[in-house]
Amino acid sequence: MDYKKIKTETTTITRDIDEISGKTGNIYESVVVIAKRSNQIGVEIKEELDAKLEEFATNTDNLEEIFENREQIEIARYYEQLPKPTLIALHEFLQDQIYFRNPTAEEIEDESL
């Protein structure tokens, strides 16, 4: 997924707690959902970056090669400018783009019926 195309803030801003907790009914549950999605996004970005940088891996390191590799520098700059995974996950959560469920809450509902 191209995370550069997501129109989210790149810095932290103040959020409305009621808006975040309203989707689950519990602020802590909302934070857990956002944190888990953030971890997924972080892993995806890391795997993508590792795959792109694997092309530049060499067995011998010359200082001249390290400083002259412009493509590798451009790739690093691209990933540095991406929004943080937490901000992307929060944006997706607020836009209802994350599917989540609470199995323990479902069990409690089933028992009460």
Q: Read off the pLDDT of each residue in 84-94 and give the average, rounded to a whole number.
A: 92
Query: Rg (Cα) of the chain, in Å, rounded?
Result: 20
pLDDT band of 37, cuts 50, 70, 90: very high
Q: Read off the pLDDT of each residue in 63-79 and give the average, rounded to a whole number.
A: 74
Q: Read off the pLDDT of each residue in 58-82 and give the average, rounded to a whole number.
A: 73
Q: If you search the block for the tokens 């971890």, which residue do you land on? A: 39
Where do the domains of the chain lie? 13-106
CB 93, CB 34: distance < 8 Å: yes
Alpha carbon distances (Å) from 100 to 1, 6, 37, 82: 19, 20, 10, 25
- CA distance linking residue 65 with residue 3, whole number of Å: 30
- CA distance linking residue 57 with residue 11, whole number of Å: 32
Q: Read off the pLDDT of each residue in 26-39 and give the average, rounded to a whole number.
A: 94
Is 66 a residue whose pLDDT tops 60?
Answer: no
Q: Read off the pLDDT of each residue in 72-85 and give the average, rounded to a whole number.
A: 86
pLDDT band of 43, cuts 50, 70, 90: very high
- CA distance linking residue 102 with residue 113, whole number of Å: 17
pLDDT at 47: 92
- DSSP 8-class letter at 55: G
Q: Read off the pLDDT of each residue in 65-72 and give the average, rounded to a whole number.
A: 69
Tokens of 34: 């956002």
Please name the amino acid found at residue 26.
N
Q: State the Cα angle at 21 between 98 and 91, rounded to 5°.
A: 40
pLDDT at 12: 77
